[in-house]
Amino acid sequence: MEISNKYFHEEDKKYYLPTFKRFPLAFIKGKGSRMWDANGKEYIDMLAGIAVNNVGHCHPSVVRAIQDQAAELIHISNFFVSPPQVALSKLLVDTSKLEHVFLSNSGAESVEGAIKVARKYAFTHKRGGKIISMHNSFHGRTLATIATGQEKYQRGFGPIPTGFVQVPFNDLDAVEKELNEEVAAVILEPIQGEGGIRPADLKYLQGLRELCDKENVLLIFDEIQCGIGRTGHLFAKDHYQVQPDIMTLAKGLGGGTPIGAFLCNKKVGDAIDFGDHGTTFGGNPLASAAALATLKVIEEEKLLKAATDKGKWLTDQLNGLKAKFPMIKEVRGLGLMIGVQMDRPAAPIVKGLMDDGVIANATAESVLRLVPPLNVPQEDLEIVMEKLEGVLTQLSNDEQ
């Protein structure tokens, strides 16, 4: 078998459903913040599998946990419990200060579960099941989650599930106008990811909490991208000191192993009966062991502080480039969840970086997204900034 980027890219196009506009690269190895493609080229990874590899590629502790667990027990069913699942459930409840957890396989599945339990709570309180979400949000690709999200993801998949309404992000009055007895919950990302790395305002989240309490509407935080240490706190909610009724997790939770979760407080948990929700694979021993190891690495290696310190350094450097290159309009984010707002499509910058051995991506068309592993070495960040400046310089020169 030929081992090259071209070979794997062509083979992929033959067999895989054409849902991804892939770059013609095939990666075969990763370690820490570095990856190698099938042609042997080395890259610095500033995307981390889209905020998934928060402890880097193939962290030894996570690899060891997966290997050890795979040799003992991979899967049972949720008719039974396993020690890794029990330990992970306790850890997530303790660190989130919520009351209950449900383990799933992905972010979209976690949001679907959050919507279900929110509607069950509303039903027990004789309220309707409408869900309010935000413009430019992203909560997944299933039918219910695209109903909460951007219109471009809904096109061609009608009829879209009903019972969803969208309002502008960071606009408290817009939410208040929609609140009535038909509303079950408000869902939002504390920092919008696919919407362009846009943090919520503190007074907005505080106001939402007050409004939801007043109207007995549940507040759901989607922390699938911004959670698990990404922002310098284990959960982004802790930046704001605002506690949701339900919180969804995935991406960074398993260190690259597919696992998701949603957590809820006691009043939501009290509305749930046996059989109201379920999963075959969610929280199986293998995935739970990987998640436990990932969370342990974040704590033991002090990666929350690393995300804060490195995020500040990176933001300062990017603002320095902003002063030099007018094409940069704004630098946004928290910790190591950073968006660089350009005055043009960001794809050419992503391509220039990739050609020079750096993996990043464009979101919301004109935003360069940087979400590296939390343990990315300082020297790698310095190399990336040099390469980014080189790409921006070349683009500026091409315009002259």
The residue from 130, 251, 310, 387 that is catalytic is 251
251: annotated active-site residue: yes
Respond yes or no: is residue 222 known to be catalytic: yes
Burial class (CB in 10 A: 0-12, 13-18, 19+), 216: middle
Distance CA 250, CA 103 (A): 9
Which tokens belong to 44? Answer: 């610095």
Cα 331 from Cα 319, distance rounded (Å): 7
Two structure tokens written together for 54: 């928060």
Is 302 a catalytic site residue?
Answer: no
Considering the candidates 222, 238, 245, 380, report the single residue annotated as catalytic.
222
Is the CB of residue 118 less than 8 Å from the CB of residue 246? yes
Instruction: Please identify which of the residues 8, 138, 169, 262 carries the catalytic annotation.
Output: 138
Q: What is the per-residue DSSP string for 104-168?
A: ESSHHHHHHHHHHHHHHHHHHTT---EEEEETT----SSHHHHHTS-HHHHTTSPSPPSSEEEE-
Which of 51, 48, 68, 71 lies closest to 60, judged by CA? Answer: 68
Q: By C-alpha distance, which of 161, 240, 235 is closest to 208?
A: 240
Sign of CA dihedral 34, 253, 336, 375: negative
Cα separation, 38 vs 28, in Å, equals 6
- 37: exposed, middle or buried (C-beta count within 10 Å: 0-12, 13-18, 19+)? buried
19, burial (CB in 10 Å: exposed 0-12, middle 13-18, buried 19+): exposed
Active site amino acids: 138, 222, 251
